[in-house]
Structure 1
Amino acid sequence: MTSRTHPGDAHPYLRAASAGIRHHIRGARTRPPVVDRVHLDVLHAHLTALHQLLDHLAETARPPCPAAGRNLAVARTRLWQATAAVHDAFHLLPTATQDAAAECHPERLPEGPPVLTICQRHLAAGHITRRTTTPTDLNRPRTTACVR
């Protein structure tokens, strides 16, 4: 016998992540938001995780439901564009030492490269994008519409 659960209970971690983002937005409304490199790094990590999830969902949905798979693939592409914009914004913010070159070249850091920098994470997510998306797709305006 199978028990019927609430749809939101099937994905507790995704629900918790969404709740965390809503909490952050509410907090930003009550006090002036501070945009710093740490903030954008965490946001970039969240976006790349969502990108990986959408990649998996698009590939899983494509065989049984091609139209749904295509729409998820478009969502994955748009999320990649948002991730790239956050990565670019990260590099435009000032650093504590104003040595932006060290951020892009972790091998030059005296303590050695960090385990995972925003650039390394961005490159890893870029491999998914290059595997599944053409440059034309990345520049194409959104053309899907609700069919209902």
Structure 2
Amino acid sequence: MAERPATLISSEKVCFIIVKAREYMGKDVVTIPDPGSNASDDAMSSVLEDHTDDPSEVELADIIDSLNDDEKIDLVALAWLGRGDETADNWEKLRSDALTARHTASTAEYLMGMPMLPDYLEEALSQFGISCAEYEAGRL
């Protein structure tokens, strides 16, 4: 396990983003586009489907967009670390690469385009001995 680097985004924010990304990315394909019924009548199954007006997508994008530039750079670097682009020992290089690799899309669009984003972020945190289970239990 590598020594935890001086990151500019808190573990709490990363864990919150992981939770929100799992909500957003855990959606299933829409089976009945316009069921014409009340969601409570069909056991709320439509909440698990990826509708175009899905509030979890907007919420995740808003959370990422609300981060300051340093936090966005760290978040991208953490995603790359969890994806296996570098090792935790090369954190400064990852961060530097994230700084210079400004994407034409927003940071939210870029990160939300990674189908395994929550797994990548969770893996990156684990390389520094951080678990979101602690966040969920209110101890982080």
Normalised by the size of structure 2, how large is the TM-score? 0.36
Normalised by the size of structure 1, how large is the TM-score? 0.35
Larger Rg: 1
Which structure is higher in helix share? 1
- Which protein, 1 or 2, shows the higher relative CO under an 8 Å CA cutoff with sep ≥ 6? 2
